[in-house]
Amino acid sequence: MINNVPWLTTIVFFPILAGLMIPILSSDGNKIIRWYTLGICLLEFSLITYVFYCHFQIDSQSLQLLETFSWIDSIHFRWALGIDGLSMGLILLTGFVTTLATLGAWPITPNTRLFYFLMLVMYSGQIGVFVSRDILLFFLVWELELIPVYLLLSLWGGKKRLYSATKFVLYTAGGSIFLLLAALTMSFSGSDVPSFDIQDSIDKSYPVSLEILIYIGFLVAYVVKLPIIPFHTWLPDTHGEAHYSTCMLLAGVLLKMGGYGLIRINLELLTHAHFFLGSGLMLFGAIQIAYASFISMSQRNLKKRIAYSSISHMGFVTIGIGSLTDSGIDGAMLQMISHGLSGAALFFLAGTCYDRTRTYLLDQLGGVATTLPKLFTMFSIFSLASLALPGMSGFVSELLVFIGVSTAEQYSFPFKIVITLVGAINPARDEDEGKDIAENKKKSFVSSTSPRDKSSFF
């Protein structure tokens, strides 16, 4: 009986349905709302973990836990869900990061009900992206992120929150238009019967020029989310103005949606176009690493420095996917999970530091090693993880990407050398990540013992 439970549908709908209960909760000091949301996130993460250990076969490369329900028969639009190794890892990442972000939102007091409801809506939307097996459904849950992120930015951000929120919407909505056009073109081409099912699209063939156009249509949406230069400018502005719990969701999960879509749709369904355009992805990924690394070193705002670091790290994802090798793609997948953990943790710790110092400016954050030793230690550990220190996941993922580049048979040796040398710039930048934090020793800070702070120390 338990094998017939629609586990994926339950995982997708549980957060948003639980969020609908928030308006009827007592607002006594906002404590009940906070603990309720944290409990929902922990319960959802526990459910995801249970499904992973009890119903997911790690050694199987096929789709698992398939669920299909017809919606619009005329265009074969269905509620189609399924998972494999790629999506399962990102679902677990989403559960962990969202739970941590809920703790990060603990100090928020205005409009607490709406804030936590929007977080739960994002939770459902992000998981929906990673389990969708229908292209139109993929587009719908992809867009489900738009409204919650806009409200989280515009209502709980800094002085320029409306500007950054509007910029985010313009970039992502503009990219989504191309995604929808590409999805419609793919579904109504290559066969007599239109179908949005991803599995059906694998067997389709397209004229070369049409396949490239479809590929570019999807790619435009992904390069905004990854983000690839020059479509990256929304990210530093957004991270600079958003509450750090929102930054955790953006860096930890939202950016990974672009890399996931690039693998799931462009690589799997549009293989010939990907082979043709893979070198371009690698080149843009290398530029992304170099540019973001140098810009990151000049940032005096801690959150913006971490934001540019995220752009640089996602460059390895772009290079790995473009390498067209098993090692490169495996490295890109691992890099998404590795950066999702380290990036979210760095924003969490930066926000914890802000709650004590009331500043993100590095020039004013000296002496943390003396006054907040536990916080400094945790920040140093995750900075080393971001550095890709040997023994940590970032090292393994970047090493796999480099191996993938060096073994790619379709690229010339000089091209491989250039990509590898440019990619090596990233660790040099990361080494400077937290150097400025321990210079000034004249500042004192206020301690805190909220559940959020205890989690950061223990």
- For the chain, the domains span 275-458
Report helix, strand and coil shares of the chain as percent, to nearest 5.
75, 5, 20
pTM, whole model, 2 decimals? 0.89
Predicted local distance difference test score (pLDDT) of residue 431: 45
pLDDT digits (tens, 9 = 90+) for 97-149: 999 999 999 988 888 999 999 999 999 999 999 999 999 999 999 999 899 99
Number of H helices, E strands in the chain: 22, 2
Average pLDDT, the chain: 86
Rg (CA), the chain: 22
pLDDT digits (tens, 9 = 90+) for 255-301: 999 999 999 999 999 999 999 998 889 889 888 988 888 888 888 88
Which run of H or of E encompasses 107? Answer: none
Which run of H or of E encompasses 268? Answer: helix 268-269
Predicted local distance difference test score (pLDDT) of residue 457: 40
CA distance 117 to 115: 5
* Regions of the chain short of the pLDDT cut 50: 1, 427-431, 433-434, 437-449, 454-458
Predicted local distance difference test score (pLDDT) of residue 413: 56
* Widest Cα–Cα separation across the chain: 73
Predicted local distance difference test score (pLDDT) of residue 201: 82
pLDDT digits (tens, 9 = 90+) for 419-445: 666 655 554 444 454 455 444 444 444
CA distance 376 to 64: 42
CA distance 113 to 110: 9
Tokens of 436: 């400025």
Predicted local distance difference test score (pLDDT) of residue 89: 93
Predicted local distance difference test score (pLDDT) of residue 298: 84
CA distance 150 to 147: 5
Tokens of 399: 């090493």
